[in-house]
């Protein structure tokens, strides 16, 4: 299938693109809702994977725009919404905007494949609740990176893991610098957005501890509690530096 993937997070975007390509699909990329709509003007695709939280134009808005255009035609482009928010009501929100189905991030290949298969066979009318992924972070592992989880995510492809790790390290360093600025400003909405980004990339990488810490920070920012956020940021900095050391070790292990 030809798939339009709209996702603002570079780690998630690369991971989803590579996984789709591994399974023989062609991928067109967009980094926000506006780019997604532009891509659809140029290209005919079989399916859209639409992240919900994106800058400039979010996924719900883009999905609504696609459905508005289809009105009065026979066309119905299958759209799978991708969301990191595991909150109740999200699924309803996605479906209300016009999405056919909903996948929780981080993306798990079996669920993605199942959803694609369903669309390929055009049986997307009603999706069982089992297709909705609930990821519970149970982590007895003291390592920053859960290697088993990370490898499973890339289907055992160590080269892809190395690539994802490299993108993550670059992005994470930038995001941490931006978080520092947001805390100093102080800018709670920006902080919330940055913490959300950090949570998304780290959970897609398999860095659960950091993903959990970033989620905490996101909540503090949402609550406008910058005092706690500032204190908590030290924990996150320590977590990030551990993780970056572990990622370094991965790159050294993987032969070129
Ligand atoms: Mn996003």
Percent of the chain with pLDDT over 70: 88
CA of 64 to the centre of ligand 1 (A): 17
Please list the helix, strand and coil fractions of the chain in percent, rounded to the nearest 5, in that order. 60, 10, 30
Task: Looking at the structure, give the CATH architecture of the domain made up of residues 147-253.
Answer: Up-down Bundle (1.20)
> Rounded mean pLDDT of the chain?
84
Max avg pLDDT among 83-87, 130-134, 149-153, 213-217: 213-217
Residue ranges of domains in the chain: 2-131, 147-253
Task: Looking at the structure, give the CATH architecture of the domain made up of residues 2-131.
Answer: 3-Layer(aba) Sandwich (3.40)
CA of 252 to the centre of ligand 1 (A): 30
User: Minimal CA–CA distance to 4: which of 45, 58, 34?
Assistant: 45
Q: What are phi and psi of 99, to 5 degrees?
A: -75, 150
Q: Average pLDDT of 244-252?
A: 82
- CB-proximal residues (5 Å) to ion ligand 1: 8, 51, 53-54
pLDDT for 140: 40
Enter the tokens of residue 240: 């990030």
172-209 pLDDT, tens per residue? 999 999 999 999 999 999 999 999 999 999 988 889 88
Q: Average pLDDT of 62-88?
A: 86
CA of 187 to the centre of ligand 1 (A): 19
Decide if 152 contacts 205 (C-beta within 8 A): no
CA of 15 to the centre of ligand 1 (A): 14
CA dihedral 107, 113, 117, 119 (to 10 degrees): 10
- Measure the CA–CA gap between 213 and 13, rounded to whole angstroms: 22
The 8-class DSSP code of residue 107 comes to P
Q: Which residues contact 171 (CB under 8 A, 6 or more apart)?
A: 10, 11, 201
Check whether 129 has a pLDDT greater than 70: no
Predicted model pTM: 0.62
Radius of gyration of the chain (CA): 18
pLDDT for 139: 36
Decide if 237 contacts 198 (C-beta within 8 A): no
Check whether 75 has a pLDDT greater than 70: yes
Q: Which residues contact 176 (CB under 8 A, 6 or more apart)?
A: 198, 236, 237, 240
Decide if 220 contacts 228 (C-beta within 8 A): yes
User: Pairing mode, if any, of strands 2-6 and 47-51?
Assistant: parallel
CA of 203 to the centre of ligand 1 (A): 13
């Amino acid at each position: 299938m030809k798939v339009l993937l709209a996702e603002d997070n570079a780690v998630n975007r690369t991971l989803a693109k590579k996984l789709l390509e591994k399974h023989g699909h062609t991928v067109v990329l967009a980094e926000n809702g506006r780019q997604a709509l532009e891509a659809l003007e140029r290209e005919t695709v079989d399916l859209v994977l639409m992240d919900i939280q994106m800058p400039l134009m979010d996924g719900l808005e883009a999905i609504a725009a696609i459905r508005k255009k289809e009105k009065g035609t026979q066309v119905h482009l299958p759209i799978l919404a991708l969301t990191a928010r595991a909150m109740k009501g999200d699924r309803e929100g996605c479906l209300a905007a016009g999405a056919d189905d909903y996948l929780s991030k981080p993306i798990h290949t079996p669920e993605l494949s199942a959803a694609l298969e369903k669309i390929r066979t055009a049986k997307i009318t009603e999706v069982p609740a089992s297709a909705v992924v609930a990821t519970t972070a149970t982590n007895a592992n003291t390592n920053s990176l859960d290697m088993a989880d990370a490898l499973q995510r890339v289907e055992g492809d160590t080269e892809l893991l190395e690539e994802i790790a490299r993108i993550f390290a670059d992005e994470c360093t930038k995001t941490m610098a931006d978080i520092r600025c947001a805390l100093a400003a102080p800018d709670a909405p920006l902080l919330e957005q940055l913490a959300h980004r950090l949570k998304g990339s780290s959970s897609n990488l398999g860095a659960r501890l950091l993903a959990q810490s970033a989620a905490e920070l996101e909540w503090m920012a949402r609550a406008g509690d910058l005092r706690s956020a500032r204190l908590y940021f030290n924990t996150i900095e320590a977590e990030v530096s551990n993780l970056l050391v572990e990622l370094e070790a991965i790159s050294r292990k993987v032969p070129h």
